[in-house]
Structure 1
Amino acid sequence: MPISDAKPIRNILFIMADQLRADYLSCYGHPHLQTPAMDALAARGVRFSRAYVQAPVCGPSRMSFYTGRYVASHGSSYNRVPLRVGEMTIGDHLRPLGLRTALVGKTHMTEDRDGMTRLGVDRQSVEGVFAAECGFEPYERDDGLWPDEVNPHDLAYNRWLRAQGYEGDNPWHANANAGRDAEGNLKSGWLMRNCAEPAAIAEEHSETAYMTMRAMEFIDEAGDQPWCLHLSYIKPHWPYIAPSPYHAMYGPQHVLPANRTEAERKSPHPVVGAFMQHEESVNFARDEVRETVIPAYMGLIRQVDDHLARLWEFLEQRGLFENTLIVVTSDHGDYLGDHWLGEKELFHEESVRIPMIVYDPSAAADATRGTVDDALVEAIDLAPTFVQAVGGTVPAHILEGRSLLARTRATGEGWRHACFSQCDYAFRGARLTLGRAPSESRAWMVRTDRWKYVDYDGYAPQLFDLMEDSAEQHDLGGSADHATIRDELRDELFRWLRDRRMRVTLSDTQIEARTDTHKHRGYLFGVW
């Protein structure tokens, strides 16, 4: 069926790969790592070149994706900081529109147990499950971490692995995320020195293969009921260890030079310098580590892409490309030694920019198919996109993003001129190095078409001219010639902070209807 004859959107497939850098897809320009399935989706949809997360770390980034709200509004500022009960999520917006909204994979959601107890919400009730699972039906919840709060026997993936013949309490750790050397010795994937070893598991039993299978099972089970499925891949997030043959697809010769200079290392911004002292940063500063880890990281990405190819074929066979909105994205990037850093959390492009590919099956999107959109896009834009796509009214007093259908359908609507991200490093060793209190350990990013401004609580700001310095190697935060630019961007940040959606219980339409109606309601105050 030609795309122009597509049926109305019924379903949403929201795919996220954890810790996937934008520039590690071939359609985003990687010279060695080929991602044909993601490239194929981009050829059928729109690839956004400048998409940014609202916090470059798993938990708060995902809470912004799921709520459609900035971290300053929803308050879940770091991993394991509970999302307060009552915050509406994608599921809360889509279920009343008739969609079964489910999860396969990771959310990094931490439930607000104190709030649920205070309100008498039973964790085992339907309402309790949605409150604790970020609004999703947990068809297969698996955050891809050692099950530290439950018995490993209770992890569904572990039960399935044991049914396939893997032994022990936790084959997630002993097989899926551990390797074996040439002598057959078990090598933990937690240790990056072992990343070159093949995972001690058959590829078809690995996390990526399993989650793809479970996604297909959900779609078949859903049948004719409209659905929103969040397929949230655990990889390429650490442990960086891939099953054969993906462990050996790439080598040191495919590792791109690190984006870092000695000058950057010798005189860093104080907060960046404190992050450089973290163990992951010290290790990723070594070429040996980069040349061991990055090939495994690349292999894990290629594995995700190959399973997306399986999924595309599955959707084609069922005619679901005709009426399913599909998004492929990530929750943040990965420094991999760039800027002398490991992990994520700060605001360099390697950390805060993400891939964002949107396939809109509507005939109204035909003109934009295969295009690259350079608009400034935020993670919070997906929630209003989903609501609008299935015919709902976007609650603008709650959702702080903008529907991307204005971009995929080229409606000509105005767009934002700046995007924003936040960092709460209170939980990290950098705070102790700097001697900061938890409430003082914050930073904010403003990114415009040309400039990136980072405001640190208690420290001088950073400023980068992305037009002249796309590698972010020349910090203009102390440049006298750029004082006016810094002042303008600081004002932009203050305007943004003032504009947060705090009144979420009444819409502007309801306010309009109530304005200056007190006499009609019997309140005669001030009358002579």
Structure 2
Amino acid sequence: MTRPHLLLLLADQMRPDALAQAATPHLDALAARGVRFDNAYCASPLCQPSRACIVTGRYPTQHGVHGNMNEPIASQERLDTYPSQLQRAGYYTAMIGKHHYYDRWAVGMDVLEDDGDLQGYGYDHVWQVDDDHLNNQDRYTRFLQDIGKLSLFQEMARKRAWDAGALRPDEFDDGYIGETAVRFIEAYQDEAPLYLQVGFLGPHPPYWAPGDYATMYDPAKMQPPLAVDNPERIARTGRARAQYLGRVSLIDHYVGRLCAALEAKGMLEDTLILFTADHGDLIGDYGLYDKRHFYQPSVCVPLLMAGPGIALNPRLGGRICRELVSGVDLYPTLLHAAGCQDRLGAQPREGLSLLDIANDAGPRRAALYSELGTMMMVRDANWKLVYDAEQGGVQYLFNLRRDPQELDNLAGVAGYESVEKRYVETLLTWQVRLTHHTQEKERERLQRVRT
């Protein structure tokens, strides 16, 4: 059997309900010929830790990346990334756009000019773009300089006064990344199967969209934020959400362009495509913005999969899977699709193949976990508990069956003590399992959390 090409499309800070609120015809088409996972979670609700979870198939307790200012993943982990395993199996591996496996401040600005460091993660071809266009020089800022728009763009960024007409959609950062990825596919001639990872910068803040995408959505018609009743805050959130959805639609446009490029090359039917994000975005829900929280809009992500290896009923088309799935599942999924055996190394992985889950051919999760610093989350079919050692223990307990919007926090409420105890014990058992093969410094960190 011919091994499939693999395409991973990774948005930045995209909440799953954006797919229902924005015009996304190309992502809808992807779901219609594949699987949409409606209970997909990031393994850590912050950029760098989550992306480290994806590329290593391990949790922060295992790989050691707990924040955005962390140094790069340890070298032994880099050697065990899934791009490295695909590379050893004969795939040509390419990365275009944002990666955020390390922070620019932790490793030095000059690394943005050096693709060799990323090639150490297992990529044959690298075309990285950073998201700080004010302080850094990278390919995108040089592109803006070449077209005479860098000074204009940076002035708007400093003043946070966006002119939607200043850049065409194909000159905007995600347009630039999308166009670069399309050209890469058009030029691909290698006989080796291709793994291509495209990292978009949006819809991460600032909430700006270019051209017609900036006016595609009416701020007054946006879904109001959860647990907020202040009219001024609701209006401000509406303006942010309208721009956010505009960026989602821009990304969708390039999903269509990439699929069209694959089809023109005769590669589409032989390509397994995965679309997801590193984490979500609260955008005003509960009076909060950004990520770093375990509320559903922050910790949940969109996840679509289409292509070879998925058993579908031709009459019914795409399917919806409601099993609990995680960012750590991308690693075993890509190796499964490629027919690779996982080199487990010193630390076993807990991820499951999404192909097995989609085809009802493998194990299921009874519980799902996510962590960030001293905070840990566990959820199952009924309950979600969030535990923070720095804040004194259980912070949130939600009955997701009765309260899917997480408006009624039952932590510390009389009558729920046994529920709290059960899920805290589940969390600690999970952490003990993870740290059995973990480096000494991580075991020491966890011991401090427990005490």
Query: What range describes the TM-score normalised by the shorter chain of this pair?
Result: 0.7 to 0.9
Are positions 1:401 and 2:351 aligned together? Answer: yes
What CA distance in whole angstroms lies between the structure 2 residues aligned with 1:375 and 1:219? 33
Shift of 1:114: 10
Shift of 1:135: 3.3
Q: Which amino acid letter does the alignment assign opposite residue 133 of structure 2?
A: W
> Which residue pairs with 2:443 in the alignment?
none
> Which residue pairs with 2:69 in the alignment?
80
Shift of 1:111: 7.3
Q: Which amino acid letter does the alignment assign opposite residue 302 of structure 1?
A: S
Aligned residues: 425
> Which residue pairs with 1:157 in the alignment?
140
> Which residue pairs with 1:450 in the alignment?
382
Larger Rg: 1
What CA distance in whole angstroms lies between the structure 1 residues aligned with 2:221 and 2:88? 48
Shift of 1:80: 2.4
Q: Which amino acid letter does the alignment assign opposite residue 398 of structure 2?
A: F
Shift of 1:475: 0.6
> Which residue pairs with 1:49 in the alignment?
38
The 8 Å contact of residues 255 and 291 in structure 1, kept in 2 or not, is answered as yes
What CA distance in whole angstroms lies between the structure 2 residues aligned with 1:360 and 1:504? 36
Q: Which amino acid letter does the alignment assign opposite residue 166 of structure 2?
A: A
Are positions 1:21 and 2:28 aligned together? Answer: no
Structure 1 residue matching 2:398: 3-state secondary structure: strand
Are positions 1:12 and 2:6 aligned together? Answer: yes
> Which residue pairs with 1:181 in the alignment?
none
Shift of 1:59: 0.7
Are positions 1:483 and 2:433 aligned together? Answer: no
- Of the structure 1 ranges 98-107 and 347-356, higher mean CA displacement relative to structure 2 is found in 98-107
Are positions 1:98 and 2:90 aligned together? Answer: yes
Shift of 1:158: 2.2
Question: Is there any run of 5+ residues in structure 1 with no aligned partner, and where?
Answer: 1-6, 116-122, 179-185, 266-283, 425-441, 506-528
1:174 to 148, 152, 155: 152
> Which residue pairs with 1:287 in the alignment?
234
2:56 to 50, 62, 67: 67
Q: Which amino acid letter does the alignment assign opposite residue 145 of structure 1?
A: D
The 8 Å contact of residues 8 and 362 in structure 1, kept in 2 or not, is answered as no
Distance 1:129 1:65, change over 3 A: closer
What CA distance in whole angstroms lies between the structure 2 residues aligned with 1:74 and 1:504? 8
What CA distance in whole angstroms lies between the structure 2 residues aligned with 1:373 and 1:49? 6
Distance 1:203 1:10, change over 3 A: same
Q: Which amino acid letter does the alignment assign opposite residue 359 of structure 1?
A: A
Shift of 1:502: 5.2
> Which residue pairs with 2:172 in the alignment?
206
Are positions 1:467 and 2:391 aligned together? Answer: no
Q: Which amino acid letter does the alignment assign opposite residue 452 of structure 1?
A: K
Q: Which amino acid letter does the alignment assign opposite residue 109 of structure 1?
A: Y
User: TM-score by structure 1 length?
Assistant: 0.75
The 8 Å contact of residues 281 and 290 in structure 2, kept in 1 or not, is answered as yes
The 8 Å contact of residues 60 and 77 in structure 1, kept in 2 or not, is answered as yes
- Of the structure 1 ranges 372-381 and 320-329, higher mean CA displacement relative to structure 2 is found in 320-329
The 8 Å contact of residues 46 and 369 in structure 1, kept in 2 or not, is answered as no
The 8 Å contact of residues 370 and 376 in structure 2, kept in 1 or not, is answered as yes
Distance 1:357 1:25, change over 3 A: same
4+ aligned runs moved over 6 Å, structure 1:
111-115
What CA distance in whole angstroms lies between the structure 2 residues aligned with 1:114 and 1:464? 37
2:131 to 123, 134, 144: 144
Shift of 1:445: 0.4
Distance 1:363 1:203, change over 3 A: closer
The 8 Å contact of residues 357 and 363 in structure 2, kept in 1 or not, is answered as no
User: TM-score by structure 2 length?
Assistant: 0.87
The 8 Å contact of residues 85 and 112 in structure 1, kept in 2 or not, is answered as no
Shift of 1:99: 0.9
Distance 1:334 1:199, change over 3 A: farther
What CA distance in whole angstroms lies between the structure 2 residues aligned with 1:456 and 1:399? 24
Structure 2 residue matching 1:422: 3-state secondary structure: strand
The 8 Å contact of residues 104 and 211 in structure 1, kept in 2 or not, is answered as yes
Q: How does 1:381-460 map to 2 (within 5 A)?
A: 381-396=329-344, 397-411=347-361, 413-424=362-373, 442-457=374-389, 458-460=391-393
Shift of 1:204: 2.0
What CA distance in whole angstroms lies between the structure 1 residues aligned with 2:234 and 2:28? 30
Distance 1:230 1:500, change over 3 A: same
Distance 1:324 1:285, change over 3 A: farther
